[in-house]
Amino acid sequence: MGGQILGDRYEVEYQLGKKSGRWTLQARDLQTQESVILKVLFLDENLRATDLKLFTREIEALKVLRHPATPCYLDYFETQLPSGDKALTLVQSFVDGRSLRSYLIEGLRLTQAQAHYLAQKVLTILASLHRQSPPIIHRDIRPSNILLNPGLPLESASIFLVDFGSVKSLTPGTTAFTVVGMDGYVSPEQASGRVLAVSDLYSLGATLVEALTGKSPSQLQTKGLRIDFEPHADLSPEFSQWLKGMLAPSLDHRWPSAEQALAALNGLP
């Protein structure tokens, strides 16, 4: 597929991902010579209504996103395929970096100081997204969707949040009822089909636990319905208590917003 021109403008260079009815490609914009990401959704008999809805949501969310640590919307077009079917293509800015997931696979384990730094950066992004009107909820925060540029050492890297394919723009006073996200990173309320802005906090907390322990959240036992991470990580009592607030299964005990979680994190000794 390398070398193929889509939309009379974008030359495909690499296939980054492939799911049923959906491709993610890295391409070169022949007008600007910049690298871009193409997300292609095939409109065939296998297309599910949920896939089209999520694809449309991602387009609408990226159109309003103006954050330096997230992708931005560049273009959108429809393509006629040789089969007679059609495909929708979203073009977004290319975010250079290496995923946290790739480092964890290689055996990286974050120190408390590194986890603190990572949490600060991602919470700053989330606070900005959640302040949008309506709030933008990522709904799929996990190690593969956090990029480090240029890479390690983590403390000097720029942190990016990518893949808004599960995003939801939430009208104030409402909740969402579409189950998306991966097991282990999903909050209890999201697993039951209800998502709030603080659902992103739980997912970030679960991501931090994996980065600190080397174990995916689903591999760890629970204690009072909360992920029991303490036996597997060397953390200060203050940071451990803060992380419990991110992972609280009850909304009454979770940090009420990204801004408040960030303020509490910044206040730790």
For 209, the 3-state DSSP assignment is helix
Q: Residue 234: count other Cβ atoms within 10 Å of its Cβ.
A: 10
C-alpha to C-alpha distance for 71 and 255, rounded to whole angstroms: 27
Kindly report each contact of residues 249-258 with a partner whose C-beta sits within 8 Å and lies 24 or more positions away, as own/partner.
249/187, 249/188, 249/224, 249/225, 251/189, 251/196, 251/198, 254/198, 254/201, 254/202, 255/198, 255/201, 256/198, 257/127, 257/130, 257/197, 257/198, 258/123, 258/126, 258/127, 258/130, 258/197, 258/200, 258/201
140 has catalytic annotation: yes
Does residue 237 have a cis bond before it (omega within 30 degrees)? no
The number of residues in the chain equals 269
Does residue 153 have a cis bond before it (omega within 30 degrees)? yes
Q: Report residue 107 CA to chain centroid gap.
A: 21
For 219, the 3-state DSSP assignment is helix
- 95, two tokens: 């975010």
Catalytic residue among 51, 140, 163, 200: 140
What residues are labeled active site?
140
